Structures are given as structure tokens and as C-alpha cells.
Amino acid sequence: MEKITLNARRLLCPLPVIRTQDKVKQLKAGDWLEVICTDPGVMQDIPAWCRINGHKVLETKALDHEYIIILEVGA
């Protein structure tokens, strides 16, 4: 299992979702992806994208103007 971090800071939605989607295509089922963003919209959009595409959100964190989402790639 791989754990990868994706820097999506300064990108506005939907670009963080697109970058997440593109990165997930390179990963295998069970891999973890941590996405670090500055657009608060990702807190809605990346979980929504995960739900419709069969991936699992493991954790979401809102820090000081940064938003971190950790997901597990689905089958």
C-alpha cells in the first residue's frame, strides 16, 4: 500500500478535484492519498467525488486556511 501526498494549494475548485482524480488513476486499490488544499470548497467536493466514484474518505481536517483530505482508493 502506498501513501501519496498531493499539493493542491492555491487551486480553486474544481481543479483540486481534477488533480485528485488524475492522481487516483495512477494509484491502486487500497492506496492512500492525502490532498492538501486552500480552497474550502474541497471539503464538499472531494468527498462528493469519492462517493460517486467508489473511494473512501478516511479523514478531513481544516487547519489554519488549509484543508486536508485523506482518502483510500477504491477498487
Partner 1 sequence: MNKQRKAVALISGGLDSMLAAKTVMDQGIHVEGINFFTGFCVEGHTHAIRDKDKAKPKRNNSLWVAEQLGIKLHIVDVIEEYKNVLINPKHGYGAHMNPCLDCKIFMVNKARQWIAENDFDFIITGEVIGQRPMSQRNATMPIVARESGADDLLLRPLCAKNLPATLPEREGWVDREKLHNITGRSRKPQMAMAEQFGFDDYAQPAGGCCFLTDKNYSAKLVDLWQAQGNKKYELDDVMLLKVGRHIRPQPNFKLIIAREEGEGRFLQGYKNEFISMNCSSHSGPLVLIDGSPSAEDLYLAAQITARFGQGRDAEQVDINVMNQDGSERMLQVKPLTKEEIPEEWYI
In the complex with partner 1, the residue whose CB is nearer, 2 or 51, is 51
Binding mask 34-63 for partner 1 (x = CB under 8 A): ----xxxx-xxx--xx-xxx----------
Residue 29 binding partner 1, by CB under 8 A:
no
Q: Dmax over Cα atoms in the chain, in whole Å?
A: 33
Torsion of CA 23, 32, 55, 57, to 10 degrees: -120
Q: Are 65 and 42 in contact (CB under 8 A)?
A: no
**Whether 13 is catalytic:** yes
Q: Which residues are catalytic?
A: 13
Residues that bind partner 1 (CB under 8 A): 9-10, 12-15, 17-18, 21, 38-41, 43-45, 48-49, 51-53, 65
